[in-house]
Amino acid sequence: MVPYLALVIIAILFLYSAIKILNEYERGVIFRLGRVIGAKGPGLILLIPVIDKMVRVDLRVVAMDVPAQDVITRDNVTIKVSAVLYFRVLDPNRAIISVENYLYATSQLAQTTLRSVCGQAELDDLLSEREKINAHLQEILDKDTEPWGVKVAKVEIKNIDLPQEMQRAIAKQAEAERERRAKVIGAEGEFQAAQKLADAAQIIGVQPIALQLRYLQTLREVASENNSTTIFPVPIDLFTPFMEVAKAMKGTLPPAVDRPPQGGA
């Protein structure tokens, strides 16, 4: 029984080393006596024990965090910048042959590229033009990782840590900008109101009846409120005829005669 048991164990070990099953997202790079014969998969893979060696390669998109890097921007501001990198393997053969560890190599390349690109930009550009910086990072990394069979799909700057004094300066700048906008909006409102009043005065000058309509509207507004006292504004034009009559009567009166004072002897 011992020889049969040994044969069964050898057969199981042979099958275990000869039969490999790869998932849909995996490829196996086959080395035969140290030479690459190609990538196989997915599904059932048959290998020659001892002679063939297989290295699994995952073809799914990898999301890799780029640690925070100390960066001195173009305008001499020290900040910390972190990012996230999305990439996948397109050519399993080159990913295994061209570089020792494509994951580690891609991570290191992303860190150095992040420091280089952010160091060439000013702080305002990093804060306001992230899309442009992300596209530039993706272009550089994709070009550098192409010989490794790696495709960089996207790079996103995740966080920018500013010094405390710089945060206070930016907050003051934003507050000053809001005050400036408020003053400009208030001045524009005053200008528009003055312009409308000038237009109304011009219309009233051409059409005096408009003033009477406005007078009646004012009376209606005053009467609609619950007031104990109501003031009726009267146009000065109503008193003009009376003033003219008074002047005419004053002109027809005889002048006053000065009389000597009466006194006793």
Reading the chain (265 residues) residue by residue, the pLDDT tens digits are: 677 777 778 777 777 788 889 999 999 999 999 899 989 989 888 888 888 999 999 999 999 999 999 999 998 888 999 999 999 999 999 999 999 999 999 999 999 999 999 999 998 888 889 999 999 999 999 999 999 999 999 999 999 988 888 778 777 877 888 888 888 998 998 888 888 878 877 777 777 676 667 766 776 666 666 666 656 556 566 566 666 767 777 766 555 545 555 554 3
Helix (H/G/I), strand (E/B), else coil: 79: strand
Does 234 map to a domain?
A: no
When divided into structural domains, the chain yields a total of 3
| Together in a domain, 151 and 70 | yes
The CATH number of the domain where 92 resides is what? Answer: 3.30.479.30
pTM summary value: 0.64
| E runs forming strands in the chain | 19-22, 26-32, 35-40, 43-46, 52-58, 62-72, 78-89, 150-161
| Together in a domain, 83 and 110 | yes
- Strand pairing partners for 82? 159
- Please state, in angstroms and rounded to a whole number, the distance separating the CA atoms of residues 187 and 75: 35
What local confidence, expressed as pLDDT, does residue 218 receive? 72
Cβ atoms of residues 155 and 138 within 8 Å: yes
| Token pair 């550089």 in the structure block, residue | 140
| Together in a domain, 136 and 177 | no
Does 115 map to a domain?
A: yes
Helix axis angle, 102-119 to 130-145, nearest 10°: 140
Does 44 map to a domain?
A: yes
| Together in a domain, 125 and 177 | no
What local confidence, expressed as pLDDT, does residue 99 receive? 93
Does 50 map to a domain?
A: yes
Question: In whole angstroms, how large is the CA radius of gyration of the chain?
Answer: 46
| Together in a domain, 66 and 52 | no
Does 20 map to a domain?
A: yes
What local confidence, expressed as pLDDT, does residue 154 receive? 94
What local confidence, expressed as pLDDT, does residue 231 receive? 61
- Please state, in angstroms and rounded to a whole number, the distance separating the CA atoms of residues 27 and 42: 6
Domain containing 198 equals 163-223
| Together in a domain, 183 and 137 | no
58, 78, 100 — which closes off a domain? 58
| Together in a domain, 176 and 103 | no
77-99 in b/e form (b: 16+ CB < 10 A) is eebebbbebebbbebbbbbbeeb
Q: Which of 88, 93, 100 is CA-nearest to residue 29? A: 93
What local confidence, expressed as pLDDT, does residue 205 receive? 73
| Together in a domain, 73 and 127 | yes
CB count in 10 Å sphere of residue 208: 10
State how far the alpha carbon of 62 is from the alpha carbons of 85, 112, 150, 151, 156, in Å: 8, 19, 11, 10, 14
Helix (H/G/I), strand (E/B), else coil: 146: helix
**DSSP 8-state symbol, 99:** -
| Together in a domain, 111 and 146 | yes
Does 112 map to a domain?
A: yes
Does 9 map to a domain?
A: yes
Structure token pair of residue 70: 């100390």
Does 193 map to a domain?
A: yes
